Structures are given as structure tokens and as C-alpha cells.
């Protein structure tokens, strides 16, 4: 009888050990991709990545989940709860340095690893096309805010902790407006009370655009890639105006933030069929960063970067179908490979870039493509730097 019990215990231990090994192996070879809102540009890019990498690496699989956007993605990957994700470069930079929205955290996001830029994302500031509309710039928001007799101005900025929310707040602060959260009107930012007039509202994408059509929002501020499906549907339902963010010399272009913001244009031909409406609207843009954490194996990252650069046209077409038609320079590989000295590049990505001579093989400097980047950056901007400026962001984590 004793021998029988010993045999049962031994078999149980063997089964447990085998199951543990199998489970560990499955977990080790299954990687989670976190995107953004459903059918948004982040989501489209990550769907493409998942599709491209299926069966590319033996015994490795990829799953995908949606999220609220950049800030949430940074949190998940830093904690190891996701393996690959996307974020706006300004937020990726701040998370690495513990600045702005991340300055109140006890530790900076040192687990994050740069892989590549994915594409350029542009600010779309949209207001109704009507005689009653008084918003043509962020300067107008500041003017309206100083008029205590005006009624509240509410701008939709997408989900909470999204890059759009962060960027809208940044643009307001740079123009002297301290925007309030319409759902928390007494909430203080940086120890100061919110604005008198200007507020923002967090909403899911579909609900936000419906609220705008129904006249419950005075504008939409969205950081997105080109040919956004929500905007494409919106212009068929009502008359709108795309705000030019360059014409009025936005202070954003004259501060330290200019190190990762670029002057870009929105091609309205992507939204309108009418020839008279197919204009170019100047706006600000920034890179979207593809990143991972420090535990991701080198070979997995290497294969992803290899596919991203060798099949770049597939990713370009996915996030911007008209890009093939117009063939712009939005996806120049050198622009995407550049890794700022503040970031830590993943060894798997570094290996591919070195093989393609995209980065230096010497360790004389950490700022890969530094000289190239500085030269190109000069051509992006028409405004001189007027020095750094401190802004008091509350954490939005």
C-alpha cells in the first residue's frame, strides 16, 4: 500500500513538472501586442504586424489587444503585461526621463526598449464649419478663455490617458490656457484652478464623433495617422474646418518640444472628393514609436525589425492607403531608425541596423544617426528656438 502511494506521488510530481515546463514554454513563446482604440491607426498597424509575423518565427505566436492609447501602452509594457506596443514620441521620451505627465512617478520607465519608429502621427483639430464658430487657432481659445462672459467651450480628446488628451493639454498650456476636465470641473492642474471657459472631454471614439455631430462638442482634437476612418465618415455628415496649427506660429514650435515635433500637412484630398476642398492644411506631427521591454529575446525583435524594413511598403499602405498613390516621404527608413541618446535601443534592433549600416559600429557616440538627424531637423522647422520653458503638468497616469 505504501509503495502504491509513493508511486501516485511520483507520477503526480512528474505530471506537475511536465505541465509546468510546457506552460512556461508556451508563455515564453507567446507575445502580446497592444494597440489603441479599435480600428484606429495604432490598431491597424498592430494588426498588420501580427499578420506579417504569423508563422515567421518557429514556435512563436502573437496575440493582440486594444487599449486607450499611448500612456496606457507605456504602462503595460513597462510592467511586462504587454510585449510590444506603440506610443507618441513625446510621451515615450517623457516616460524615459520622468518628465511632464510622468514626473510624479517614483521611478522612470527604465524597462522600455526602442525598436523603431512606425510612422508619423499628425494633430487634427476639427471644428464646425459655421458662422458661429469662433475657433481658428489655439490663440482664439486663449482669447475666449479670458472672456468670463463666454459660455463653456468643450473639446473632445478621445479616451483618458491617450496621446490626444496629453497633446491637447500641452498645446493649451503653451498658449496660456489651463484646460479643465468637464467631468471634473473643480480638479486642479499643477496646483492651479482650471480655465474659466476651455474644457476637454474624454470619450470613446465613436461616441465622441457622434457628440460632435449632435452639437454637444465645439471641436475634436485628435492625434492620428492619415485617412482616419472616423474623420472620413464625419466629413460626409457635416461641414467641418481643419485648423491650421502652423499659420499662427504655435509656441510649440519655438520651445524645447520642437526636438520631436515636426511641421507636417494634412492632405484633405484623403477625405474630400470635391476638387475645391482638396487643400493642404499645416499641422504638427511626431513619430509613433514601436517599443518593447528589456526581457524580449533578441531574435524576436530582430525578425520584427527585419520585416518592418524589408516589407515597409506593406506597413505604409496599411496606415495610409493614399501614401502609395501620392508616394510621400513619410516613411523614410533613416527617419524611423533614428534612436535618441535618451532611449535604450533593444539589442535585437541594434543588430539589424548595424547589418544595414543604419547605425555606427563604433561606440564613439550613443546617439545613433545623430548627425543625420540634426541636419534633417533643420529642414523641418522655419522658426528659431527661443529657449526652454517650464510647464507644470499634473500626472495623468
- The ranges of the chain annotated as CATH 3.40.190.10 are 31-118+290-380, 122-286
Tell me what pLDDT residue 28 has: 53
Average pLDDT, stretch 335-346? 85
**Spatial distance between the Cα atoms of 380 and 137, rounded to a whole number of angstroms:** 21
The answer to whether 71 and 166 have CB atoms below 8 angstroms apart is yes
Q: Is the pLDDT of residue 165 over 70?
A: yes
Position 92 scores a pLDDT of: 92
Most confident of 77-86, 96-105, 270-279: 77-86
The pLDDT value recorded for residue 10 is 54
Checking if the pLDDT of 160 tops 80, the result is yes
Q: How far apart are CA 145 and CA 195, in angstroms?
A: 7
Q: Please, which pLDDT band fits residue 108 given cuts at 50, 70 and 90?
A: confident
For the segment 253-270, the average pLDDT, to the nearest whole number, is 75
SS3 content of the chain, % helix, strand, coil (to 5): 40, 20, 40
Q: Report the C-alpha gap between 293 and 81 in whole angstroms.
A: 10
Least confident of 38-42, 152-156, 221-225, 342-346: 38-42
Rounded Cα distance between 21 and 64, Å, is 24
- The CATH superfamily of 122-286 is Periplasmic binding protein-like II (3.40.190.10)
Q: Three-class SS of residue 200?
A: strand
Q: How high is the pLDDT of residue 105?
A: 66
Neighbours of 61 (CB within 10 A): 13
pTM, two decimals, is 0.74
Higher pLDDT residue, 104 or 178? 178
| Contact predicate 155/167, CB 8 Å | no
| pLDDT, position 395 | 45
Taken as a whole, the chain contains a residue count of: 397
* Cell numbers linked to 229: 476612418
Given a cut of 80, whether residue 90 has pLDDT beyond it is yes
Neighbour count for residue 175 (Cβ, 10 Å): 20
Q: Which three cell numbers stand for residue 322?
A: 493614399
The pLDDT value given to residue 138? 86
Q: Which CATH number is 31-118+290-380 given?
A: 3.40.190.10
The pLDDT value recorded for residue 68 is 86
Amino acid at each position: 500500500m505504501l509503495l502504491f502511494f509513493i508511486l501516485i506521488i511520483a507520477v503526480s510530481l512528474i505530471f506537475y513538472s511536465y505541465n509546468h515546463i510546457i506552460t512556461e514554454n508556451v508563455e515564453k513563446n507567446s507575445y502580446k501586442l497592444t494597440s489603441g482604440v479599435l480600428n484606429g491607426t495604432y490598431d491597424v498597424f498592430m494588426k498588420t504586424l501580427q499578420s506579417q509575423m504569423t508563422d515567421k518565427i518557429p514556435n512563436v505566436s502573437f496575440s493582440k489587444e486594444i487599449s486607450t492609447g499611448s500612456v496606457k501602452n507605456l504602462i503595460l509594457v513597462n510592467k511586462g503585461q504587454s510585449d510590444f506596443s506603440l506610443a507618441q514620441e513625446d510621451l515615450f521620451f517623457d516616460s524615459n526621463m520622468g518628465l511632464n505627465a510622468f514626473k510624479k512617478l517614483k521611478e522612470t520607465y527604465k524597462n522600455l526598449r526602442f525598436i523603431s519608429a512606425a510612422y508619423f502621427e499628425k494633430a487634427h483639430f476639427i471644428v464646425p464649419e459655421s458662422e458661429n464658430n469662433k475657433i481658428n487657432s489655439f490663440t482664439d481659445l486663449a482669447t475666449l478663455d479670458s472672456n468670463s462672459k463666454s459660455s463653456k467651450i468643450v473639446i473632445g480628446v478621445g479616451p483618458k490617458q491617450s496621446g490626444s488628451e496629453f497633446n491637447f493639454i500641452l498645446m493649451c498650456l503653451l498658449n496660456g490656457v489651463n484646460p479643465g476636465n468637464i467631468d471634473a470641473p473643480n480638479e486642479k492642474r499643477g496646483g492651479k484652478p482650471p480655465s474659466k471657459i476651455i474644457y476637454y472631454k474624454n470619450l470613446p471614439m465613436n461616441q465622441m464623433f457622434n457628440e460632435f455631430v449632435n452639437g454637444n462638442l465645439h471641436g475634436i482634437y485628435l492625434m492620428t495617422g492619415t485617412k482616419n476612418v472616423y474623420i472620413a465618415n464625419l466629413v460626409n455628415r457635416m461641414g467641418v474646418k481643419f485648423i491650421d496649427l502652423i499659420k499662427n506660429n504655435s509656441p510649440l514650435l519655438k520651445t524645447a518640444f520642437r526636438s520631436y515635433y515636426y511641421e507636417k500637412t494634412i492632405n484633405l484630398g484623403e477625405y474630400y472628393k470635391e476638387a475645391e476642398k482638396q487643400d493642404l492644411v499645416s499641422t504638427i506631427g511626431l513619430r509613433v514609436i514601436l517599443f518593447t521591454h528589456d526581457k524580449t529575446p533578441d531574435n524576436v525583435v530582430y525578425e520584427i525589425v527585419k520585416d518592418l524594413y524589408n516589407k515597409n511598403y506593406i506597413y505604409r499602405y496599411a496606415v495610409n492607403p493614399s501614401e502609395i498613390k501620392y508616394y510621400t516621404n513619410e516613411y523614410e527608413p533613416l527617419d524611423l531608425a533614428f534612436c535618441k541618446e535618451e532611449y535604450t535601443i533593444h539589442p535585437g534592433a541594434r543588430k539589424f541596423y548595424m547589418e544595414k549600416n543604419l547605425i555606427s559600429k563604433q561606440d564613439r557616440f550613443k546617439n545613433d544617426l545623430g548627425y543625420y538627424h540634426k541636419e534633417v531637423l533643420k529642414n523641418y522647422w522655419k522658426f528659431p528656438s527661443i529657449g526652454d520653458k517650464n510647464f507644470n503638468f499634473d500626472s495623468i497616469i
